[in-house]
Structure 1
Amino acid sequence: MSKIRITKKFSFETGHALYGYDGKCRNVHGHSYKLSVCVIGEPINDMDHVKNGMVIDFGDLKKIVKSEIVDQFDHATVFNQNTPHIELARELKEREHHVILVDYQPTSENMVVDFAKKIQKHLPDHIKLHSLKLQETESSFAEWYASDQSAPQTPKGE
């Protein structure tokens, strides 16, 4: 059977600030992010299966990405947990704003890695995450490809 890639696009609004950065992005600002999620697998080949012909139901993929990414990050402000903005983060939380503290610099590059981990945990075993594209602006984006990730190393002698 043929391997097929399917892609679903999502969008969400998120604010962030880059701790220690030497440009304007050290200040709190926001983006209208666009996330493209591409998975790969073989279409179901069973006439008795309700999802015959599908790699994964787009609705099932949407549920995963919506709960793990969109619902979490939409209209949130993301800060590195070690940022001097921590006082601002506390004040925002006290005022019932949605603040996410992460253990990484919240760049598109690091966010897309985080998103890949979150999505992979919830995919069925027969479906693999192929790639993610996180677009920060019309002309700037970060991409994650499963094929670019190094495989776990097996110790010699095993």
Structure 2
Amino acid sequence: MSKIRITKQFSFETGHALYGYDGKCRNVHGHSYKLSVTVIGTPIDNNNNVKYGMVIDFSDLKKIVKEDIVDVFDHATVFNKNTPHVELAKELQDRDHNVLLVDYQPTSEMMVIDFAEKIKNRLPNTIQLHSLKLQETATSYAEWYASDN
């Protein structure tokens, strides 16, 4: 049977700051991110299976991405925990703000790498993550492809 790619799109609002950056993005600011998740697999060919004809149920893919990415990053502010931003992060957390401290500079490029690992770890063995597209603005995005990695 043919390999098929399916894509589900997600959106979330996240703030961040790029420590040490030489432009405006060193300041805390936010984006309306759009994440496209594409997986590849063979549609289930057992007509006794309730998922017959599906590579993966869109609702199963949605559950994975929502739990590991959207629900975590939506309306959070992300800082690299290895920078002085941790002081700002602590102050924000003390004021009951949702703050994420990560091991990387929170650029779209690094976030999409993080997201790829999180999603790959949750997919069934019969499904592979094909690609991710993380759109930061209307004209700027980062892409991750399994074939490149």
The normalised TM-score by structure 2 is 0.99
Between the aligned partners of 2:88 and 2:128, the Cα distance in structure 1 is: 39
| Over 2 Å off, 4+ runs | none
Give the match for residue 96 of structure 2: 96
Would you say 1:53 and 2:47 are equivalent positions? Answer: no
Between the two proteins, what is the percent identity of the paired residues? 77
Q: CA deviation at 1:48?
A: 0.4
Number of equivalenced pairs: 149
Give the match for residue 140 of structure 2: 140
Unmatched runs of 5 consecutive residues or more in structure 1 = 150-158
Q: CA deviation at 1:74?
A: 0.1
Give the match for residue 109 of structure 2: 109
Q: CA deviation at 1:39?
A: 0.1
* Cα shift readout 1:64-98 (whole Å, capped 9, x = no counterpart): 00000000000000000022222110011011111
Higher Cα Rg, which structure: 1
Q: Which amino acid aligns with 1:127?
A: I
* Cα shift readout 1:12-61 (whole Å, capped 9, x = no counterpart): 00000001000000000000000000000000001100000000000000
The normalised TM-score by structure 1 is 0.93
Would you say 1:44 and 2:60 are equivalent positions? Answer: no
Between the aligned partners of 1:85 and 1:3, the Cα distance in structure 2 is: 45
Give the match for residue 20 of structure 1: 20
Q: CA deviation at 1:132?
A: 0.0
Partner SS for 2:72: helix
Between the aligned partners of 1:68 and 1:85, the Cα distance in structure 2 is: 24
